[in-house]
Amino acid sequence: MSHVSDQELMKRAQADDTVAFGRLYDRLAPRAFGIALRVLNGNRERAQDAMQEGFLSLWRSRAHYQPGRGPVQAWAFGIVRNRAIDTLRRNGRHDEHRSNAEHSLEFLAAPGDLEASVIGATDSRALRPLLAQLPDQQREVIVLAYYGELSHTEIARHLTLPVGTVKGRMRLGLIRMREILS
């Protein structure tokens, strides 16, 4: 299959040929990894994650590829590059604001350390049923904060809400979770 063009491999992938997509991945992954690595300033782990997310996106959106709009390589590398930029923004902001977010969570904790009583008393499996009992708006901000590791500011930007609204929903949700645990 080494003599088959990238265009032909993509055409086969569009017909749900996973072997063809695997071959395309084998061809493009090294260069895609290099692109992600450059965007992510040499962070190999994040580059690998961004590359894999990019190729998952390629697989999911393979039906949308149009050969007349450009080569498969350009399309694939553009998607991986965008995933790397998203990772850089997400993790860069997270790293930059981590101390502020941790300080904000300490501030939100009620007497008796609300956060510790909720999160410390549960593991990931036990947390899911608690989250399921919360109103959607409270659950959403808590999931973005704890699983998405986003700061209040990032959550506000993501949901297009004021930061105060995000903090309020977070506090109410944590209070409700503590009540459920009691």
- Exposure class string for 80-92: b at 16+ Cβ within 10 A, else e: bbebbeebbebbe
Residue 9 has pLDDT above 90, yes or no: yes
In the chain, the percentage of residues whose pLDDT exceeds 90 is 25
Query: What does the DSSP 8-state code read for residue 148?
Result: S
Residues of the chain with CATH 1.10.1740.10: 6-90
**Across residues 122-142, what is the average pLDDT?**
76
| CATH class held by domain 6-90 | mainly alpha
Report the amino acid identity of residue 145: A
What is the predicted pLDDT for the residue at 2?
59
pLDDT digits (tens, 9 = 90+) for 23-77: 999 999 999 999 898 888 888 999 999 999 999 999 999 998 888 888 898 889 8
Specify the CATH number of the domain 109-181. Answer: 1.10.10.10
Residues of the chain with CATH 1.10.10.10: 109-181
**Across residues 89-108, what is the average pLDDT?**
49
Among 163, 175, 168, residue whose Cα is nearest residue 113: 175
